[in-house]
């Protein structure tokens, strides 16, 4: 099939590349001409394992191209994915201006029947708005062309995007017309060959499914963080509790890892957007509100633990931080717990030495130049450099090279053998036996 994907951000680029990999011809559109030029040279602007190869191979094979002209892209295709950003507005609601702008342009260039697919995470009712905008443009052009608007939310995770897209648990498609349903079934045929992964439902059902999935996962995490904070006060090891409850298949092991809060561009944004939808529809979402509040507070736990440990103050101290990305496998630092911790440490007069396997360039953009110039934040070349003469080490992101480090080397480097483990990666009993002053999340006895 010939497909147009508008927006070459995370979701758009992965969607375009994976459909091309399945043998389709895909044109990706982005208004950023410099980005389009780079992509046409095979340069992938985001860090995502495996994406470079898929983009380059399919580009070479002529199945994947990039342009900044939507009309040019639309000329050959009849399926148009909208995968542009929906950033949070001041009040937490999803800002639809980019989605509706693309809808307007599609309406200006549509010449034959087409299926417009909302791939971006958009509030319930957005497909109706897209339909209205397209219809208005067709009216203005005095054209009576049939089209459908479909909701096809994406469930991929950063760092595992290709695998998630290629081998999805399910493909949710909200569709109202048999004609569009047929197009979507054909489009996803290759992904559903062994098992039928396609789930057809109403458009609004699909729109809410996306938010409910992210909000449920965020709820599991905040719930576990709450129980972990309680466990600390009760002399309980949350890791034992986690295993104990995860073994119940109704609860399951995933997304019950306590830690220093969830980050990224999706959970925080989507929980807030769903709360906002609650307000709009006259329903107070108390659970979501608590999920969000727990997470905000949880991001401060590492700083609080350091303050408790260094009761005479953090001013003048040096703290070594391992991990800056919001999770392993990405260079994304949006809403990362590391940012909350580092800002609080700098405000308290401490110096931070930090290391991340891939997010160092991103870290340079996240903090103001003055912080680097004043030597308040030092980005180190190697994970062990970050610990030189530090009063404590804090693990924020559980990258693999941090999981089994050389504890003898760590002990020699640190001024004091203090480890604060924000992701419960280390064995407290073994570390205490090695002479470390160890604090995890929900496991302090
Ligand atoms: C999330 C969802 O998992 C995807 O299914 C969804 O498609 C995506 O949002 C989206 O809406 O686009 P992502 O933001 O890439 O994916 O990251 P996750 O792997 O879900 O992790 C989110 C955060 O939760 C991370 O900060 C992670 O450290 C934290 N987390 C995760 C925990 O604190 N505990 C856990 O048990 C699991």
**In this structure, is residue 420 part of a structural domain?**
yes
Task: Please name the residue ranges forming H helices in 320-427.
Answer: 337-347, 360-366, 369-373, 407-413
Ligand 1 atom nearest 214 alpha carbon:
2
Look at residue 222 in the predicted model and tell me its pLDDT.
98
Rounded CA-CA distance 293/225 in Å is 11
* Separation in Å, CA 238 to CA 96, 134, 234, 267, 362: 41, 52, 10, 23, 33
Tell me, using a 6 A CB cutoff, whether residue 264 lines ligand 1: yes
Same domain for 11 and 67, yes or no, is yes
User: What is the CA(199)–ligand 1 centre distance, in A?
Assistant: 22
**In this structure, is residue 185 part of a structural domain?**
yes
Tell me, using a 6 A CB cutoff, whether residue 301 lines ligand 1: no
User: What is the CA(36)–ligand 1 centre distance, in A?
Assistant: 28
Same domain for 261 and 350, yes or no, is no
Same domain for 85 and 227, yes or no, is no
| Phi/psi at 393 (5° precision) | -115, 135
**3-state helix vs strand vs coil in the chain, percent to 5:** 45, 15, 40
User: Is 28 tagged catalytic?
Assistant: no
What CATH code is carried by the domain that includes residue 282? 1.10.1040.10
Rounded CA-CA distance 18/22 in Å is 6
Look at residue 445 in the predicted model and tell me its pLDDT.
60
User: What is the CA(7)–ligand 1 centre distance, in A?
Assistant: 22
Look at residue 21 in the predicted model and tell me its pLDDT.
97
pLDDT tens track of the chain, all 445 residues?
A: 999 999 999 999 999 999 999 999 999 999 999 999 999 999 999 999 999 999 999 999 999 999 999 999 999 899 999 999 999 888 989 999 999 999 999 999 999 999 999 999 999 999 999 999 999 999 999 999 999 999 999 999 999 999 999 999 999 999 999 999 999 999 999 987 777 899 999 999 999 999 999 999 999 999 999 999 999 999 999 999 999 999 999 999 999 999 999 999 999 999 999 999 999 999 999 999 999 999 999 999 999 999 999 999 999 999 999 999 999 999 999 999 999 999 999 999 999 999 999 999 999 999 999 999 999 999 999 999 999 999 999 999 999 999 999 999 999 999 999 999 999 999 999 999 999 999 999 997 6
Instruction: Identify the H or E element spanning 115.
Output: strand 114-118
Ligand 1 atom nearest 255 alpha carbon:
36
For 204, counting Cβ atoms within 10 Å of its Cβ (0-12 exposed, 13-18 middle, 19+ buried), the class is middle
Going across the sheet that includes 198-201, the strands are 64-67, 25-29, 2-6, 79-82, 114-118, 147-151, 171-174, 198-201
Domain stops at, among 148, 167, 201? 201
Same domain for 344 and 247, yes or no, is no
Ligand 1 atom nearest 10 alpha carbon:
12
ipTM of this predicted complex?
Answer: 0.97
Same domain for 40 and 138, yes or no, is yes
Tell me, using a 6 A CB cutoff, whether residue 391 lines ligand 1: no
How far is the first Cα of the chain from the last one, in angstroms, to the nearest whole number? 60
**In this structure, is residue 371 part of a structural domain?**
yes
Q: Which two tokens stand for residue 196?
A: 């039928």
Residues pairing with 198 in the sheet = 171
How many domains does the chain divide into? 3
**In this structure, is residue 445 part of a structural domain?**
no
User: What is the CA(334)–ligand 1 centre distance, in A?
Assistant: 12
Domain stops at, among 280, 296, 312? 296
**In this structure, is residue 206 part of a structural domain?**
no
| Of 11, 16, 168, residue with least CA distance to 80 | 16
Look at residue 216 in the predicted model and tell me its pLDDT.
98
Same domain for 262 and 309, yes or no, is no
**In this structure, is residue 29 part of a structural domain?**
yes
Ligand 1 atom nearest 337 alpha carbon:
26
Same domain for 83 and 190, yes or no, is yes
Instruction: Using only the alpha carbons of the chain, give its radius of gyration.
Output: 24
Residues pairing with 15 in the sheet = none
Same domain for 276 and 371, yes or no, is no
Tell me, using a 6 A CB cutoff, whether residue 256 lines ligand 1: yes
Domain stops at, among 264, 296, 328? 296
Nearby residues of 66 by Cβ (< 8 Å), 6 or more positions away: 8, 27, 28, 29, 30, 36, 39, 40
**In this structure, is residue 357 part of a structural domain?**
yes
Same domain for 335 and 247, yes or no, is no
HSE-CB at 49 with a 13 A cutoff on CA atoms is 10
Tell me, using a 6 A CB cutoff, whether residue 292 lines ligand 1: no
Tell me, using a 6 A CB cutoff, whether residue 398 lines ligand 1: no
Same domain for 162 and 195, yes or no, is yes
Same domain for 149 and 183, yes or no, is yes
What CATH code is carried by the domain that includes residue 369? 3.40.50.720
Look at residue 195 in the predicted model and tell me its pLDDT.
78
| Of 383, 392, 320, 329, residue with least CA distance to 356 | 383
Tell me, using a 6 A CB cutoff, whether residue 262 lines ligand 1: yes
Candidate list 18, 28, 266, 380, residue with the active-site label: 266
Same domain for 406 and 338, yes or no, is yes
User: What is the CA(53)–ligand 1 centre distance, in A?
Assistant: 24
**In this structure, is residue 444 part of a structural domain?**
no
Q: Which domain range does residue 183 map to?
A: 2-201
């Amino acid at each position: 099939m010939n497909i147009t994907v508008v927006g070459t951000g995370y979701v758009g680029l992965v969607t375009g590349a994976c459909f091309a990999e399945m043998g389709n011809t895909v044109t990706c559109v982005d208004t950023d001409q410099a980005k389009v030029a780079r992509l046409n040279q095979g340069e992938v602007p985001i860090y995502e394992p495996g994406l470079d190869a898929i983009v380059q191979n399919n580009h070479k094979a002529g199945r994947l191209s990039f342009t900044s002209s939507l009309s040019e892209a639309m000329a050959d295709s009849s399926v148009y994915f909208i995968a542009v950003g929906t950033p949070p507005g001041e009040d937490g609601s999803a800002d639809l201006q980019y989605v509706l702008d693309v809808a307007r342009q599609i309406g200006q260039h549509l010449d034959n029947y087409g299926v417009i697919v909302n791939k971006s995470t958009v509030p319930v009712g957005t497909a109706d708005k897209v339909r209205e905008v397209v219809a208005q443009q067709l009216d203005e052009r005095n054209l009576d062309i049939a089209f459908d608007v479909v909701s096809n939310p994406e469930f991929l995770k950063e760092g595992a995007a290709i695998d998630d897209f290629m081998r999805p648990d399910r493909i949710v498609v909200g569709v109202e017309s048999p004609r569009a349903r047929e197009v979507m079934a054909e489009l996803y045929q290759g992904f559903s060959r062994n098992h039928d992964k396609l789930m057809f439902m109403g458009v609004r059902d699909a729109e809410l499914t996306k938010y409910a999935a992210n909000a449920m996962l965020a709820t599991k995490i905040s719930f576990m963080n709450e129980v972990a904070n309680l466990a600390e006060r009760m002399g309980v090891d949350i890791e034992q509790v986690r295993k104990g409850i995860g073994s119940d298949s109704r609860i399951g092991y995933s997304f019950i890892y306590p830690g220093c809060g969830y980050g990224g561009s999706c959970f925080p944004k989507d929980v807030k957007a769903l709360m906002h939808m609650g307000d709009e529809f006259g329903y107070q979402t108390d659970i979501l509100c608590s999920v969000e509040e727990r997470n905000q507070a949880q991001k401060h736990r590492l700083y609080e633990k350091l303050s408790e440990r260094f009761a005479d103050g953090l001013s003048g101290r040096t703290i070594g931080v391992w991990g800056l990305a919001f999770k392993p496998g990405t260079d994304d630092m949006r809403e990362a717990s590391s940012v909350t911790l580092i800002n609080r440490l700098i405000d308290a007069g401490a110096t931070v030495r930090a290391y991340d396997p891939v997010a160092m360039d991103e870290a340079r953009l996240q903090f103001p130049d003055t912080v680097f110039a004043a030597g308040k934040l030092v980005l180190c070349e190697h994970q062990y450099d970050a610990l030189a003469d530090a009063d404590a080490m804090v693990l924020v992101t559980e990258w693999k090279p941090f999981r089994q480090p050389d504890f003898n080397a760590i002990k020699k480097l640190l001024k004091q053998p203090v480890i604060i483990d924000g992701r419960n990666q280390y064995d407290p009993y073994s570390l205490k036996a090695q002479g470390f002053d160890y604090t995890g999340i929900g496991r302090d006895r």
